Structure 1
């Protein structure tokens, strides 16, 4: 490999000062500009016509500094020529290992948006608390540290509700963000060991998913609600399975129609930040109301407080004794679809699930309902 020559040169500026710079041949790659360059200005200057001893001393000092920088740069650039390929690889790995894993974690989180960004934010806060607000380098990350963090997060307290411990599924969400960063770092060659694969995840805890039967949903539909918009958004969710966060921000621009496909909506899920195209029925479309300007929210006068306050009253008026929240309409949609024979893959796509395992919980609910029917026919 050809050596790189480094020469200290001078250039007179319009002001009369002389600037000192390094001249490289062949040109070297500049990591900041991402271009090859022959010059590196040092920010050191000489007085072209020194008038006194101070000017002379300053010239001498700056020239000496420039010569030292030139010698160091020459040594740095050509030092790799004396190393074997194995030694060069070891030096590269050493340089990578000295980078901050915590900083890399934060950089990974910066591009996240919506609810997903919030999960990343709290995952990082908990990881920093685990590290006692100290940094950790790539070369210091190992299986033991990540397993210790798993134990820590399972016993950690909520940051918002300090008197409560994190739910297991919340701890799982936070822990998975660290594992995702480990997986990314390994793929990019920043970690030499696939630590993510070596560490078991936290087991997901099955949560109670209340839903309405078809008879209960019909009864709710027939029951008057104190605010029409509350009934409209609830029925729309029952017919589509869309989350409240996505319904609240839905605009008319996202509601589309084609002769071949009918009505559908195209939007980005707030929770996952993933784009979704979802066909909707004519009945669901009618609950959207009168079409307005493209950029206007469909349910522009919707208030979460009204839903939280009036939904329990409406459910009670329909003589439904279950504890029903708005999110239960999403569970109801999935459960009724699968009970009607819609396959799990289609339901998973309609719900916008990234992993079909998330949808499989509804198959268990259907299986339980099937089991309940076994005793409905008896000759005893």
Structure 2
């Protein structure tokens, strides 16, 4: 829909007390609202043409005055157009402030992040909260690199701002890890920026959606997992280093329960229940989404729980397992992988993928059941995590072959 705003610039004069000459003002009018700027230019009454809004005559002085007025008119028109393009509905005062170089008022990008942090910190998981803090950190770096400023008004966010931020993330040289950011990591940060910006829209801090023409594109990735023989190698690993034993046990526990790091490390004795089937179950809620989860505890997972029932660190923290950071855990898992001769990037989340593929789907557990145990709200998410492994595909094809052998060939009528 086109804007119905009216905009105009007029040059008017006012008399100066005790002086014969007149002072020239630029009058800005937007939707009937006015604001005036003193141009610090004076003219004799006989040298001013009020109807034409310019100096009268052909003198060099008048020519220079009219050139100056035309430049002022052009600049004010350009300011109005730029504000419209950037998504604002300009006011006369806003245009005046831009002309005079006065710092504009309005909520900033960091204001939006701060408000998001205040209202959402209880409704999102600590892990997600930390991700938003990281995105904000990159925004601050980008603002200093691109604009040499610590903050920027929200209305400055447009399509170019977003694409420039994307370019910045893709080319940022990391100092705390070796690999530069990959496509999906970049898209995640832009996705979080979009959520913060749209929150600002709901607050009427921003009129237009700068993301309306921007498409966030994730690349489909093959989720890694351990094959059955690799899982067995880790299960059989013996070590005298307690840190590696803990890392191994937590990993194996997740391989047989599908729990994420945060859900496993926060698991409490109260989350373990005896089901009507006589078996023990994990009945809890996912930290990330708040989705209820009900997971039957397999024998190997139950054995690991029993091994830590009297662990002093566990008893002190009130959790099933001793508390360890995800960063340290993943570091120790790399040592485990080396000791087991596994040439894969062994991270804790790989255990969740292994549960979905090698432990459950490959053994005939329906994907709907796997989805519920993983706590997914959509089965499409499970399909990403739990791709069918080669052995399962082979079994399915053997079943198909058997069915085809029992059918008669089609006969012509």
TM-score normalised to structure 1 length:
0.59
Are the counterparts in 2 of residues 334 and 362 from structure 1 also a CA contact under 8 Å?
yes
Equivalent residue number for residue 250 of structure 1: 267
Equivalent residue number for residue 236 of structure 1: 253
Cα offset, 1:108, TM superposition: 0.8
Equivalent residue number for residue 108 of structure 2: 100
Cα offset, 1:146, TM superposition: 1.9
Aligned with 1:172 (options 163, 176, 187): 187
CA 1:217–1:291 in 2, change beyond 3 Å: closer, same or farther? same
TM-superposition CA deviations, 1:229-286 (whole Å, max 9, x none): 44432321111112334323322233334537952231443xx364542323252334
CA 1:321–1:130 in 2, change beyond 3 Å: closer, same or farther? closer
1:347 counterpart = 2:367: no
Q: State the alpha-carbon separation in 1 of the partners of residues 210 and 220 from structure 2.
A: 24
TM-superposition CA deviations, 1:96-119 (whole Å, max 9, x none): 982223311232134435222221
1:158 counterpart = 2:181: no
Are the counterparts in 1 of residues 272 and 281 from structure 2 also a CA contact under 8 Å?
yes
Q: State the alpha-carbon separation in 2 of the partners of residues 339 and 243 from structure 1.
A: 20
Q: State the alpha-carbon separation in 2 of the partners of residues 344 and 309 from structure 1.
A: 30
- Any gaps of 5 or more consecutive residues in structure 1? 1-88
Q: State the alpha-carbon separation in 2 of the partners of residues 314 and 364 from structure 1.
A: 27
Cα offset, 1:367, TM superposition: 7.0
TM-superposition CA deviations, 1:57-86 (whole Å, max 9, x none): xxxxxxxxxxxxxxxxxxxxxxxxxxxxxx
Matches within 5 A, 1:1-380: 98-110=106-118, 111-112=120-121, 114-132=126-144, 133-158=149-174, 160-161=176-177, 164-204=179-219, 206=221, 209-213=224-228, 215-218=229-232, 220-222=234-236, 224=238, 226=240, 229-259=246-276, 262-269=280-287, 272=288, 274=290, 276-283=292-299, 284-289=301-306, 291=309, 296-300=318-322, 304=328, 307-308=332-333, 311-312=336-337, 315-316=340-341, 324-336=346-358, 337-353=360-376, 356-362=379-385, 364-366=387-389, 370=393
Q: State the alpha-carbon separation in 2 of the partners of residues 360 and 282 from structure 1.
A: 23
Q: State the alpha-carbon separation in 2 of the partners of residues 164 and 302 from structure 1.
A: 25
Are the counterparts in 2 of residues 268 and 276 from structure 1 also a CA contact under 8 Å?
yes
Equivalent residue number for residue 74 of structure 2: none
Q: State the alpha-carbon separation in 1 of the partners of residues 218 and 324 from structure 2.
A: 37
Question: How many residues of Structure 1 are paired with residues of Structure 2 in the alignment?
Answer: 278
- Any gaps of 5 or more consecutive residues in structure 2? 1-88, 95-103, 402-413
Q: State the alpha-carbon separation in 2 of the partners of residues 338 and 107 from structure 1.
A: 43
Q: State the alpha-carbon separation in 2 of the partners of residues 192 and 362 from structure 1.
A: 38
Q: State the alpha-carbon separation in 2 of the partners of residues 160 and 321 from structure 1.
A: 23
Are the counterparts in 2 of residues 236 and 287 from structure 1 also a CA contact under 8 Å?
yes
TM-score normalised to structure 2 length:
0.55
Q: State the alpha-carbon separation in 2 of the partners of residues 181 and 368 from structure 1.
A: 44
Are the counterparts in 1 of residues 291 and 377 from structure 2 also a CA contact under 8 Å?
no
Q: CA RMSD in A?
A: 4.0
Are the counterparts in 2 of residues 168 and 205 from structure 1 also a CA contact under 8 Å?
no
Q: What SS is found at the alignment partner of 2:294?
A: strand
Q: What SS is found at the alignment partner of 2:305?
A: coil
Are the counterparts in 1 of residues 234 and 248 from structure 2 also a CA contact under 8 Å?
no
CA 1:357–1:97 in 2, change beyond 3 Å: closer, same or farther? farther
CA 1:368–1:219 in 2, change beyond 3 Å: closer, same or farther? closer
Are the counterparts in 1 of residues 253 and 304 from structure 2 also a CA contact under 8 Å?
yes
Range 187-196 or range 165-174, more displaced: 187-196
